[in-house]
Chains A and B, each alone.
Chain A
Amino acid sequence: MIGEGIQSTNQRRHSFVDDHVEVGFFTDPSVCIGCKACEVACKEWNEVPDDGFTWTGNSYDNTGHLGASTWRHVLFVEQNRSKGNQIAGPMSLGGEEQDPFRWIFLSDVCKHCENAGCLEACPTGSIVRTEIGSVLVQNDVCNGCGYCVVACPFGVIDRRPAPLPDAGGAFKCTFCYDRQKSGLTPACAKVCPTESIVFGRLDDLRVRGTRRVQTLQESGYGDARLYDPKETSVGGIHAFFLLLGEPEAYGLPPKPQVPTIHLKSSWSAALATAIGAIATVALVFALFWDA
């Protein structure tokens, strides 16, 4: 926590990998200042290549979305609603009425799902679950089949296009597994100047998140809520968020589902089709064959 100095879970060394402790990120937009230090730290530490300098025209967000070469993405949400107890003045000259306006920043990242669609879909075993509960893509094993891309309910993982380095493989946030093995905290959390990104034990963070929502609601942020879809088949996420307002405005699915829930009905249809095909072929040859 801010004020704890080097004793903050974002700064102090740990042994979560050796101790097999489930870790997480709690990302809180109510204290985010949109500095994008997390994006930069992530790119630098992980040597993620530059994927183009394009202007989106979407507020101050020129990153666009998470992808193979973007593992942290700061969203800039503009809404015509007041932020907490904010008193808004008129937006236009000479106007009388209040024009509520809020600008919310949220650092988006891979959610490291409890039931991860990408991990289930991966046919090579390249995507694994680590000791700390994160979902990791092993770059040297991935053959770039692209199935994880359509299996992720959050649109996080993507295949890196040529001519970027390591093109053809699927990439996403590694939860700085390499740093964590050495007892370091993930690069994004390490640099976050306001501790909007908090790294720590998952159970501690969940308590902290619930308490933060309570505090905010008591201070007038009526639409503060946690985004941690435990009630859907995703079963909760290890990198969870505090949101002001509905998840849709942040490009987050309201009820994400892990695609494996569709397997049973789909395979049943395949089985029925196979039996139907056998019966049809047997029938047409039995009825219409004249030697």
Chain B
Amino acid sequence: MRQEAKHGITGRGVDVSGGPIPRSVGYYGEAVVKPPVWTWEIPLYFFVGGAAGMAPLIACAGLYLGQLDLMRAALWIAAAGAIISPALLVMDLGRPMLFFNMLRVFKYRSPMSVGAWILSLFGASAVPAWLILELYTNDAFAPSIAPMVLFVTGLLSFGAAIFGLGLATYTGVLLGATAIPAWFLHRVFLPMHFGTAGLGCAAAILELLGFQIRPLYALGMVVAIIETLLWIWLEFDKNGPADRALHRGSIGWLIRGGAVLCGPLPIVLRLTNFVSLAAIAFLLGALLSRFGWIAAGRVSGRDPEAVFASQK
């Protein structure tokens, strides 16, 4: 009968082997918590926001050393990310027209609220910083006010660096402070992973833009080593059924693949002098990993056994 039905039967039905009592976990295997409703925009936003958020930090280093070219490129990454990120977030909203309701209130106990404010303030400092620096390098200002302008853009870059650090790491807190077992069990890991990946991505994009300089090479090396250590930690910090979504099947390979591309592979590629390849591998790994974590949350949220196991 189930086969004959053309539409309308979506359930799995009663487990009839051996009797009328269903043997699924919990209540007919129904989800205990709700899986996230977020679609592809959110992991992509995590990736873009991470790279953009960490870029002004490098811009500040560029300004300190008087390397305005490096600063310009880093601020360009930040400004581009500051424009793409809100667009992705708004696209994912159920009611995009009501986006500004995010800024009605500030709730420090809601990472979503803190994040919305961080992203807004980041955009408000990164975009003007980049614009002013572009104008400055194109000699748009009179020589008398030029030093003043450079000071202002430096101040804005500093602000962007501070808010950017929040932008690159709050996304880990956003996932960590939920009821999804695979996420909240790794609430300490996630901000570290997302922040490190963001810093690596910012450096990798700069290297691909032609800034293959020794500090960025070293930075790429350091973040790859940290990512390798984080990966080892994740592989050892297993919680049985509670976070099995992270380690199993295609999602397990997505996260593992992301970890290899962010960690061991760039180390080897850098040591063998394939710097551009190392940068590309890192960017790809960081992207895959974000998609893996959101997908794992979806599976973990639907898994009643994971919820029960996480509360033992």
Contacts and interface: CB of A to CB of B under 8 A. Distances in A.
- Are A and B part of the same complex? yes
B99 A143 contact: yes
Contacts, number: 278
Interface stretch (A40-48, A145-153, A206-214, A216-224): A145-153
Contacts of A146: 36-38, 92, 94
B124 to A, nearest CB: 18
Contacts of B195: 270, 273-274, 276-277
B33 A150 contact: yes
A77 B98 CA distance: 41
A144 B10 CA distance: 26
Contacts of B105: 123-125
B190 interface: yes
A253 B61 contact: no
A146 to B, nearest CB: 4
Contacts of A288: 214-215, 217-218
B276 interface: no
Interface string A71-92: 0000101111000000000010
Given A251-B304, A281-B57, A281-B219, A57 B11 contact: yes
A270 B167 CA distance: 10
Nearest to A61: B28
Given A251-B27, A281-B57, A54 B215 contact: no
A284 B206 CA distance: 15
Between B27, B64, B199, the greatest number of chain A beta carbons within 10 A of the residue's beta carbon is seen for B27
B98 A142 contact: yes
A58 B137 CA distance: 69
B265 interface: no
- Among B22, B65, B179, chain A packs the most CB atoms within 10 A around the CB of B179
A58 B178 contact: no
B192 A273 contact: yes
B82 to A, nearest CB: 18
Contact of A145 (B93, B170, B178): B93
A176 B177 CA distance: 29
Contacts of A269: 169, 172-173, 176, 187-192
Give me the 5 closest cross-chain CB pairs, A-B, nearest first: A144-B94, A168-B94, A251-B27, A57-B13, A56-B11
7 contacts: A55-B9, A57-B2, A101-B21, A123-B110, A276-B195, A284-B219, A288-B217
